[in-house]
Each structure stands twice: as structure tokens, then as C-alpha cells.
């Protein structure tokens, strides 16, 4: 049955998730992060081929932890695209860092590599926080320019380019398991690293800033827990705080759900790519009216949504008509995020302008291609959007 309202983003919770969650609440002794979170971390980092993983309560917290664990000095310049989600760039402001904004490319909605290089040379920047917008992989050559890099792969689970998986490029990589994402744990995120030192740091910052690296249910991995001192006072290693950290741990039930969702991820990707292809084929006749999304050669995209940039017509009018006919729309996150109220009073450093980002903010919207949309429904989405864009 076709739903009367087709969402842009939607979660797929089945009986398996509900029953497993109920069993956990009824029978497992731990509500806080414990064995199920540990097991999900292991499964997820194995899937990505990374050495270290820490689950958090959200993708935003994953980016926060990664930014803190970089331990950049206040005032450090960090390159980031202007088209982004608010909490990708918010930690830069919160930690006294200076975002250096780069425009995005038409159609990919990702950071423009040439403008990025020009900005790096002009501003002497060697750090970045860069997302794969809507799961569309950034040019893989980008990462080699930076000494310090945070890869926001929150929208990019199982996307790849030239056979390399998104979430394996940055010093830190971050994922989201919010209900809107490719898989969900209700709320949740993950930060990953390969470097042992960075792996220890991210765990510290995610776990109150505590020096101890024992996970939930573990004790005395260092084998000398009671032999530590603070200013000559003997002190339990579990209560030595070496960095100003956070408590961003998820509930253990998030790990229960995550393991079941991860087993469905391959099938979800097949459906998303089918839905994207239906929309893209249908909108091919609209090339005079819209800019369709494009990806780079060698990209295998697990699309988070289908973006449309209007060449003609009023976005508000068109999207309101689409919504009235039962198809949800969303804007491209923060658009040109530098224009958001959160940046009032902050210096905006964008050496080569943000013309394309402004265009995205004014003319771009997103419709769904998520794995909960059936084949019959995606053809309805395509027909309605086509009609209303053509109508103008």
C-alpha cells in the first residue's frame, strides 16, 4: 500500500529489533553501554577495516569527540565546506578554532578541490573537517593534502570511490545512526581511527576524559590500576582524568539494534540505489530546469537523498506543492552555513567566495530515496516532483 505521505528520511525497524530490544530491557543487567555496544563497535570497525572504534550517542557527538581529540590549539585554521550540517562545524567554534570556508562544486555538493588547494596555499592550512555530502564521495585526492583530517562520513555508510570505502580516508572518521540514516540505532554515532595514539585519545574524550582505557565490564587492563599517583597521592587509575572530556556514551540497547541493522545494510543499499536511479532517469528530461546530482568517476554511492537544484521557479512554491501532494522535501542542511544565525558575531573566512554555496541555499531541495520507499512509491515521488518542477 502506498503511503499518503512519503518521507525524505525514514527508519526501518522490524520485529527482530523490537523483540531484541525488549529482551534486553527484560533480561540484561546493564542499561548503559556494555557488551552489546562493544560487540557493535567490533563489527562496525571490522566492516570498515579500521583498528579503533568508539560508539557515541549521536553522529554529532562523534564529530565533537574527533575534533576534541585532534587537540588543535585555539586559533588553528581548519578548512571545511560551507555547505554542511551545523554540528559538523559547530565544534570548531566551540573550541576556539577558525573555520576557513571553501565553496562546493555544482552537482556533487562537495568541497571544490581546486578552490580548496588555493585556500590552503593562501591561508597556510593543514587541517580539515570535510563531509561526503548526501553520501556522495569527496575526491579521494583531497585527503592527501592534509596532515590532520576529520572525515564526516555520517551520510556515507557503504559509499566508496575507486574501491576505497568512505570512512577510511581521514585520521578520524565519523558516522551517524540517527533514525534518518542508512542504518539506525535510534540515536547513535561512531568515531573511528587507525592510529593507536588517536584511538586512545578519542576514547578518552568520549569517556569523561578519563585516563583509564578499560571498556565497560573490564578492569585493570593496565595491570597496575592502584599504582598511579596524582601529586604524590596514590590514586585509582579509573579516576584519573587526563583531558577535559565528555560523557557521550549510548545505551547498550543501541548496540543491540545496531548489530541487527548492520546485517541489513547491504540490502538497504540496493534499495536506495534503485530508488535513486528511478528518480534520476525520470528527471533526465528536466535538465533545462534543474541541476541533477552527479558523482565522480569510480564512485559507488549509497545515496542519503536525492538533491535537486532549480534553474527556474521559486523553491518555496514548488516544494509546498510537492508536499501538498504527499511527498516530503527537505533543504540541503544549513545551505551556506555561514549565513546561519549561529555565525553571527564570528569572523567568516572564505578567501575565494561562496557563490555556489549561496546558490544551494537559495535553490536546492532534497527528496527521498531511502530504503523504506517501495518501488511503487518511488515512481509516485518521481511523477509528482516532475510535474511540479515542470509547472514551475
Whose CA is closest to 332, among 358, 371, 355, 301?
Answer: 358
Quote the DSSP letter at residue 263.
T
Cβ proximity of 177 and 258 under 8 Å: yes
3-class DSSP state of 54: strand
Cell of 278: 528511478
Angstrom CA distances, 257 to 126, 159, 262, 303, 381, stand at 38, 22, 9, 22, 30
For residue 89, give the H/E element and its range: helix 86-94
Decide: 175 and 29 in contact? Cβ < 8 Å.
Answer: no
Angstrom distance (rounded) from CA 354 to CA 103: 5
DSSP E strands, the chain: 52-56, 77-81, 98-102, 127-131, 148-152, 160-161, 164-165, 172-176, 189-193, 228-230, 233-235, 290-291, 299-300, 306-310, 330-331, 364-367
| Sheet of 148-152, strand order | 52-56, 189-193, 172-176, 148-152, 127-131, 77-81, 98-102
Catalytic positions: 181
Neighbours of 34 (CB within 10 A): 18
- The end-to-end CA distance of the chain, in Å, is 30
Amino acid at each position: 500500500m502506498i503511503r499518503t505521505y512519503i518521507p525524505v528520511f525514514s527508519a526501518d525497524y522490524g520485529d527482530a529489533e523490537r523483540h531484541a530490544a525488549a529482551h534486553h530491557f527484560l533480561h540484561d543487567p546493564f542499561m548503559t553501554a556494555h557488551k552489546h555496544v562493544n560487540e557493535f563497535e567490533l563489527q562496525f570497525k571490522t566492516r570498515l577495516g579500521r583498528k579503533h572504534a568508539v560508539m557515541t550517542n549521536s553522529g554529532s557527538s562523534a564529530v565533537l569527540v574527533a575534533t576534541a581529540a585532534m587537540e588543535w590549539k585555539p586559533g588553528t585554521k581548519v578548512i571545511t565546506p560551507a555547505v554542511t550540517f551545523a554540528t559538523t562545524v559547530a565544534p570548531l567554534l566551540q573550541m576556539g578554532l577558525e573555520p576557513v570556508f571553501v565553496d562546493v562544486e555544482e552537482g556533487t555538493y562537495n568541497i571544490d578541490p581546486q578552490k580548496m588547494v588555493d585556500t590552503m596555499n593562501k591561508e597556510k592550512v593543514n587541517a580539515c573537517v570535510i563531509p561526503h555530502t548526501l553520501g556522495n564521495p569527496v575526491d579521494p585526492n583531497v585527503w592527501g593534502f592534509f596532515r590532520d583530517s576529520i572525515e564526516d562520513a555520517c551520510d556515507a555508510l557503504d559509499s566508496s570511490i575507486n574501491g576505497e570505502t568512505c570512512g577510511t580516508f581521514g585520521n578520524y572518521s565519523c558516522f551517524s545512526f540517527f533514525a534518518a540514516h542508512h542504518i539506525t540505532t535510534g540515536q547513535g554515532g561512531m568515531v573511528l581511527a587507525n592510529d593507536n595514539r588517536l584511538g586512545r585519545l578519542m576514547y578518552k574524550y568520549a569517556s569523561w576524559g578519563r585516563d583509564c582505557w578499560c571498556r565497560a565490564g573490564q578492569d585493570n587492563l593496565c595491570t597496575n590500576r592502584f599504582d598511579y599517583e596524582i601529586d604524590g597521592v596514590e590514586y585509582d587509575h579509573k579516576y584519573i582524568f587526563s583531558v577535559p572530556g565528555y560523557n557521550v556514551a549510548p545505551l547498550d540497547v543501541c548496540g543491540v539494534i545496531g548489530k541487527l541493522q548492520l546485517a541489513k545494510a547491504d540490502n538497504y543499499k540496493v534499495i536506495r540505489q534503485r530508488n535513486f536511479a528511478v528518480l534520476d532517469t525520470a528527471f533526465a528530461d528536466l535538465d533545462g530546469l534543474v541541476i541533477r546530482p552527479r558523482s565522480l568517476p569510480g564512485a559507488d554511492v549509497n545515496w542519503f537523498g536525492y538533491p535537486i537544484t532549480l534553474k527556474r521557479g521559486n523553491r518555496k512554491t514548488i516544494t509546498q506543492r510537492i508536499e501538498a501532494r504527499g511527498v516530503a522535501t527537505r533543504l540541503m542542511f544549513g545551505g551556506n552555513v555561514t549565513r546561519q544565525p549561529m555565525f553571527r558575531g564570528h569572523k567568516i573566512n572564505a578567501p575565494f567566495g561562496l557563490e555556489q554555496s549561496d546558490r544551494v541555499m537559495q535553490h536546492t531541495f532534497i527528496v527521498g530515496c531511502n530504503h523504506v520507499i517501495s518501488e511503487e512509491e518511488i515512481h509516485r515521488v518521481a511523477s509528482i516532483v516532475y510535474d511540479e518542477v515542470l509547472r514551475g
